[in-house]
């Protein structure tokens, strides 16, 4: 079943059918989540109303990590099975993951200012997120510099995997580093015990965010497939118009459409 | 409703999120339109 | 296989020497950064000696980046990389040899010269020795991580900037443990050996991951 779903032609068909439903579900759960977050969840006894930032901060953090995970899976798909869709999926995921990571960082900063008295602390968690964002930026930048899609796919897949090997090491070393430096008083957010009146809105918001992310991802994947098709057609057109020049652009056309 | 003394930060956080999501969605739609236009141009070229 | 390795290292060393020694140039760059820091922070020797290891490490990270973009690019342009890929020796050996040669011309001179530069930032004897030791143990990790970026950007013209963007986040762990090992020698709550062993562990991990990934990038990058 999976091989059938992953066939590019089939993918175009089922993703077209699925995306509106996903988007609708995302809008509904988002509305429900926002309602719960704003009107049902009580203000925190310590943090007051600012705790409402948590309902976008935590889902954004989850999505930033989630999309990196999906990119790692796609990278393995590109390198091991050379699956054309894996590369498309990875390319579409990077900007979305980067955007959510950025949202996480900015909302975290805006939450930190009233709570900790500063926009930024070099806390282990914040720093890890910042590094994740930097890696996203590197991946996107690399994609823009390598022109030929198949080569870009493999290059970025290797970088993604190297990043994935490094991320736990970075996380570990940043943890070590921040305990070493003993940051001043930091209010731990929530902690493991979080009141159900806050937990349910948070879960709803996480589900809504994930649905939004997946809908965006499927949409961007189809755009990416169209882009490949346009590219193939452009090259074919150029070869038709000027057969002599085809040597210049000749490259394995590969599974680009 | 009363957001207390830190209303600006809360609204700022939500505002930034909405803005980023809007940019993300707008960019996706714009990109899709551009690719579809390019494909349509090729299709017209074939008929001629 | 060892003969291939030795031949490649010798070739790269000779090439580096012929171009006027990129090693010497890295050293000058290293000196420049160390000299710039007091201008930015002020000539307070107490402050400088406290952050001295950090300055030396930061300078080492930046100096490693110099010339890294040419590591595979030069061979890619004149076609010798293609010969190496086609040779019966595994590409991993080729990568390992080239990275070792690069480290011998940048990382090793930096580590050896760091006691001299330690004087500039008022490090005392034990701290200087500790910093030099951490640089000696840690710079291979920097070079191996950098080699992955160099292999990924081998075919990109003007890949220097993008190389730095790709590689610097991955160098953070090495930087953290390098500096904290050197700081531990200056006195502190943790014993010197703990971060130093982790640092050597990082170098070993980087050697394995870096060699494999760089070879994969060169092989699939065509």
Query: What's the rounded Cα separation, in Å, for the pair C199 and C20?
Result: 32
Chain C residues close to A146, C-beta within 8 Å: 155-156
Asked if the Cβ–Cβ distance from B28 to A229 is below 8 Å, we say no
DSSP code for C131: H
Q: Could you report the per-residue pLDDT of C56-105, keeping only the tens digit for each? A: 899 989 888 887 887 888 788 888 878 877 778 788 888 898 899 888 88
Average pLDDT (C206-210) is 91
Which has the closest alpha carbon to C108: C212, C4, C26?
A: C26
SS3 A16: helix
pLDDT at residue C159 tops 80: no
Average pLDDT (A194-218) is 85
Q: Per-residue confidence at A193, pLDDT binned at 50, 70, 90?
A: low
Which has the closest alpha carbon to C164: A174, A145, A168, A148?
A: A145
Query: What's the rounded Cα separation, in Å, for the pair C56 and C120?
Result: 10
Residue A51 CB neighbour total at 10 angstroms:
22
Average pLDDT (A149-174) is 85
Which pLDDT score, from 0 to 100, does residue C83 have? Answer: 80
Interface test with B, best of A35, A43, A50, A91 (most B CBs within 10 A): A50
SS3 C122: coil
Asked if residues C166 and C138 have their Cβ atoms less than 8 Å apart, the reply is no
Burial of A208 (0-12, 13-18, 19+ CB in 10 A): buried
The two three-digit tokens of residue C151, written as one number: 């292999």
Q: Could you report the per-residue pLDDT of C18-66, keeping only the tens digit for each? A: 766 566 778 888 888 888 888 888 888 888 888 888 888 999 898 888 8
A48 Rama sector, left if φ>0, alpha if ψ -120 to 50, beta otherwise: left
From C169, C202, C220, residue closest to A135, measured CB to CB: C169
pLDDT at residue A249 tops 60: no
Query: What's the rounded Cα separation, in Å, for the pair C57 and C121?
Result: 12
Domain total of chain C: 1
The sign of the torsion formed by the CA atoms of C50, C56, C57, C62 equals positive
Query: What's the rounded Cα separation, in Å, for the pair A100 and A162?
Result: 21
Asked if residues C199 and C177 have their Cβ atoms less than 8 Å apart, the reply is yes
> What's the per-residue H, E or C state across B1-48?
CCCHHHHHHHHHHHHHHHHHHHHHHHHHHHHHHHHHHHHHHHHHHHHC
pLDDT at residue A198 tops 90: no
Residue A16 CB neighbour total at 10 angstroms:
12
pLDDT at residue A99 tops 90: yes
Which pLDDT score, from 0 to 100, does residue A18 have? Answer: 86
Average pLDDT (A218-222) is 90
Tell me how close the Cα of A167 comes to any Cα of chain B, in angstroms. 25
Chain B residues close to A223, C-beta within 8 Å: 28, 31-32, 35
Interface test with A, best of C165, C182, C190 (most A CBs within 10 A): C165
Average pLDDT (A9-16) is 80
Number of H-type helices and E-type strands within chain A: 8, 0
The kind and range of the H/E element at C119 are helix C107-120
Question: Half-sphere exposure of residue A14, counting CA atoms within 13 Å on the CB side?
Answer: 10
Identify the contact set of chain B against chain A, taking CB-CB distances under 8 A.
1-7, 9-10, 12-14, 16-17, 20-21, 23-25, 27-28, 31-32, 35-36, 38-39, 42, 45
Q: What is the DSSP string of C8-75?
A: HHHHHHHHHHHTT-HHHHHHHHHHHHHHHHHHHH-S-HHHHHHHHHHHHHHHHHHHHHTTTTHHHHHH
pLDDT at residue A4 tops 60: yes
Query: What's the rounded Cα separation, in Å, for the pair A149 and C92?
Result: 25
Q: Per-residue confidence at C194, pLDDT binned at 50, 70, 90?
A: confident
Average pLDDT (C206-218) is 90
Domain with C16, as residue range(s), is: 2-220
Determine which of A73-77, C20-24, C109-113 has the lowest per-residue pLDDT on average. C20-24
Which pLDDT score, from 0 to 100, does residue A185 have? Answer: 43
Query: What's the rounded Cα separation, in Å, for the pair A69 and A93?
Result: 10
Residue C114 CB neighbour total at 10 angstroms:
27
Q: How far is CA C38 from the centre of its chain?
A: 23
- Give CA angle at A53 (A49, A55), nearest 5°: 110
Tell me how close the Cα of A143 comes to any Cα of chain B, in angstroms. 16
For residue A70, what are the CA distances in angstroms to A2, A86, B28? 16, 10, 19
Residue A141 CB neighbour total at 10 angstroms:
13
Residue C158 CB neighbour total at 10 angstroms:
10
From C162, C170, C176, residue closest to A176, measured CB to CB: C176
pLDDT at residue C166 tops 50: yes
Query: What's the rounded Cα separation, in Å, for the pair A218 and A240?
Result: 33
Q: How far is CA C178 from the centre of its chain?
A: 12
């Amino acid at each position: 079943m999976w091989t059938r779903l992953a066939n590019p032609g089939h993918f175009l068909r089922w993703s077209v059918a699925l995306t509106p439903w996903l988007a609708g579900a995302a809008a509904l759960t988002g509305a429900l989540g926002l309602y719960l977050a704003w009107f049902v969840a009580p203000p925190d006894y310590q943090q007051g109303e600012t705790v409402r930032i948590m309902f976008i901060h935590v889902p954004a953090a989850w999505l930033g990590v989630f999309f990196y995970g999906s990119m790692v899976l796609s990278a393995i798909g590109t390198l091991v099975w050379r699956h054309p869709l894996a590369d498309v999926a990875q390319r579409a995921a990077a900007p979305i993951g980067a955007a959510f990571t950025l949202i996480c960082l900015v909302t975290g900063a805006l939450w930190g200012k009233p709570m900790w008295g500063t926009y930024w602390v070099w806390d282990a968690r914040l720093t890890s997120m910042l590094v994740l964002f930097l890696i996203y930026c590197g991946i996107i930048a690399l994609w823009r510099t390598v022109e030929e899609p198949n080569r870009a796919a493999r290059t970025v897949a290797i970088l993604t995997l190297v990043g994935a090997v490094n991320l736990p090491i970075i996380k570990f070393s940043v943890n070590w580093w921040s305990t070493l430096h003993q940051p001043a008083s930091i209010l731990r957010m929530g902690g493991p015990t979080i009141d159900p009146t806050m937990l349910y809105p948070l879960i709803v918001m996480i589900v809504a965010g994930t649905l939004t992310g997946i809908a965006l991802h499927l949409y961007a994947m189809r755009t990416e497939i169209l882009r490949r098709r346009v590219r193939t057609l452009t090259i074919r057109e150029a070869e038709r118009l000027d057969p002599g020049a085809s040597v210049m652009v000749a490259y394995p056309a590969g599974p680009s459409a | 409703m009363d957001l207390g003394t830190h209303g600006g930060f809360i609204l700022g956080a939500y505002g930034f999120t909405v803005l980023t999501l809007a940019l993300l969605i707008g960019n996706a739609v714009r990109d899709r339109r551009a690719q579809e236009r390019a494909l349509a141009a090729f299709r017209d070229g074939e008929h001629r | 296989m060892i003969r291939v390795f030795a031949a490649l290292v010798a070739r790269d060393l000779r090439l580096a020497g012929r171009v006027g020694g990129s090693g010497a140039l890295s050293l000058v760059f290293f000196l420049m950064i160390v000299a710039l820091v007091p201008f930015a922070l002020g000539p307070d020797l107490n402050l400088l000696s406290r952050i001295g290891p950090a300055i030396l490490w930061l300078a080492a990270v930046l100096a490693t980046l110099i010339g890294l973009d040419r590591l595979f690019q030069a061979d890619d342009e004149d076609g010798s990389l293609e010969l190496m890929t086609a040779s019966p020796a595994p590409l991993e050996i080729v990568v390992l040899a080239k990275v070792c040669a690069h480290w011998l011309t940048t990382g090793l001179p930096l580590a050896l010269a760091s006691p001299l530069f330690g004087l500039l930032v008022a490090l005392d004897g034990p701290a200087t020795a500790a910093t030099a030791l951490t640089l000696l143990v840690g710079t291979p990790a920097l070079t191996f991580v950098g080699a992955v970026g160099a292999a990924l950007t081998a075919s990109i013209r003007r890949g220097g900037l993008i190389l730095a963007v790709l590689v610097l986040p991955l160098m953070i762990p090495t930087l953290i443990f390098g500096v904290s090992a050197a700081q531990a020698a200056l006195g502190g709550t943790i014993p010197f050996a703990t971060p130093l062993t982790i640092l050597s562990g990082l170098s070993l991990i980087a050697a394995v991951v870096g060699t494999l990934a760089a070879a994969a990038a060169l092989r699939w990058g065509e």
